[in-house]
Amino acid sequence: MGLFSSHEVDPAEIREKYGHALIGGEEVLAAFRSLRDTAFLTNYRFVLVDVQGLTGSKISFRSVPYRSIQSFSVESAGTFDLDSDLKLWVTGEAMPLSLKVSRNADPAAIQRLLAELVLAKR
């Protein structure tokens, strides 16, 4: 998701902006935003919103149901790192989906949330 680290965003802000993409009963649990792109976790799926083009008028939504996530890793920022890394290995994809998250985000909380969501869908 972009070259720049993403920071945490209030789930209410995501519901307001992307509520049209949510289904009945779907709740935004955590969200991250870089300069243009957004990623969020709901109780059903992981969503990447990729804003494309110079004007940002072309937007791609990538929805990954938790049952499609084979494994994931959350790497905390080291002493000289600017951010943490989140990687998701998805069924049918050769390369993992990668997301850089601000070093201020809590990697243990992200890992715990992903574990609960991915393991519950097995």
- Percentage, residues of the chain above pLDDT 90: 48
Q: What is the 3-state secondary structure (H, E, C) of the chain?
A: CCCCCEEECCHHHHHHHHHHHCCCCCCEEEEEECCCCEEEEECCEEEEEEEECCCCCEEEEEEEEHHHEEEEEEECCCCCCCEEEEEEEECCCCCCEEEEEECCCCHHHHHHHHHHHHHHCC
Q: What is the CATH number of domain 11-120?
A: 2.30.29.50
- Enter the pTM of the model: 0.82
pLDDT score of 16 more than 70: yes
| Mean predicted lDDT score pLDDT of the chain | 85
